[in-house]
Structure 1
Amino acid sequence: MAESRPTLDIVAPFLNEAPSASAFAELLAALEEAVSQRFGMTVHKILVDDGSRDDGSDRFSKALSGSWEIVRLSRNFGKEVAVLAGLDQSRGDMVLIMDADLQHSMDISLKLITELVEHLDIDVVYAQNDRREASWRRSQLARLFYSLINSSQRFDIPENAGDFRVMRGTVARALTSLRDKRRFNKGLFAWAGFRQKALPYSPESRASGTSKWSRLNLIAFSLEGFTSFSVIPLRIISLSGMLAALAGLAYGAKVFFEVMFYGIAVPGYPSLMVAVVLLGGLNLTLLGLIGEYVWVTLSESKDRPVYIVRDVVRGDVAPDKPVSGAPNT
Structure 2
Amino acid sequence: MSTISIIVPCYNEEESINLFHDTVEKVFTNMRENGMNHQPEYWFVNDGSSDNTLQILRDLQQKAPETVHFISFSRNFGKEAALSAGLHAATGELITVMDVDLQDPPELLPKMIKLIENDGYDCVGTIQHDRVGQGKIRAFLSSSFYRVINWVSQVRIEPNARDYRLMTRQMVDSVLALPEYNRFSKGIFAWVGYNTTYIKYESQPRAAGETHWSMAQLLEYSLEGIIDFSDVPLKLATWVGAISFLISIVGLIFVVLRALIVGGSVAGWASLVSIILLLGGIQLFSLGILGNYISKIYLETKHRPKYIIQEQK
What is residue 232 of structure 2 aligned with on the other side? 232
Matched residue of 1:193: which SS? coil
The corresponding residue for 1:325 is: none
Structure-2 change in CA distance of 1:267 and 1:140 (3 Å): farther
Q: Does 1:33 align with 2:32?
A: no
Q: Cα RMSD (Å) of the superposition?
A: 2.1
Q: Give the partner amino acid of 2:50.
A: R
The aligned residue for residue 149 of structure 1 is 149
Contact 1:255 1:266 in 2 (8 A): no
Q: Give the corresponding residue for 1:15.
A: 11
Q: How many Å apart are 1:139 and its aligned residue?
A: 4.5
- Whether 1:274 aligns to 2:274 is yes
Q: Which of 44, 50, 53 is the aligned partner of 2:50?
A: 53
Find the aligned partners of 1:88 and 1:272 in 2 and give their Cα distance: 58
Residue equivalent to 1:115: 115
Once the 2 structures are TM-superposed, how far is the Cα of residue 229 of structure 1 from its aligned partner? Answer: 1.1
Q: CA deviation at 1:207?
A: 2.1
For the Cα contact (< 8 Å) 1:126–1:199, is it kept in 2? yes
AA of the residue aligned to 1:51 = G
Secondary structure class of the residue paired with 1:307:
coil
- Alignment check: 8 A CA contact 2:154 2:230 kept: no
Say which SS state the counterpart of residue 308 (structure 2) adopts: strand
Mapped to 1, the partners of 2:277 and 2:269 lie a distance apart of: 12
Q: Secondary structure at the residue paired with 2:210? A: coil
How does 1:52-201 map onto structure 2 within 5 Å?
52-63=49-60, 65=64, 67-120=67-120, 122-133=121-132, 134=134, 137-151=137-151, 153-201=153-201
Alignment-mate amino acid for residue 254 of structure 1: F
Conservation of the 8 A alpha-carbon contact between 2:143 and 2:160 = no
Aligned mates of 2:25, 2:69 — CA distance in 1: 14
Once the two structures are TM-superposed, the CA of residue 235 in structure 1 deviates from its matched residue by 1.6
**What TM-score does the superposition give when structure 1 sets the normalisation length?**
0.86
Q: Deviations over 1:73-131 (max 9, x none)?
A: 111111111011111111111111101011111223333233223311x1001011223
State whether residues 126 and 198 of structure 2, in contact with CA within 8 Å, keep that contact through their aligned partners in structure 1: yes
Q: Distance in 2 between matches of 1:88 and 1:191?
A: 18
Amino acid at match of 2:128: N
Runs of 5+ unmatched residues, structure 2 = none
Matched position secondary structure for 1:62: helix
Aligned position for 2:243? 243
Q: Say whether the 8 Å CA contact 1:93–1:169 is kept in structure 2.
A: yes
Q: Quick one: which amino acid aligns to residue 19 of structure 1?
A: E
1:161 is displaced (CA, Å) by 1.5
What are the ranges of 5 or more consecutive residues in structure 1 without an aligned counterpart? 314-329
The sequence identity of aligned pairs, in percent, is 30
Residue aligning to 2:202:
202
Runs of 4+ in 1 over 6 A off after TM superposition: none
Q: TM-score scaled by structure 2?
A: 0.90
Q: Note if contact 1:7-1:42 (Cα within 8 Å) is conserved in structure 2.
A: yes
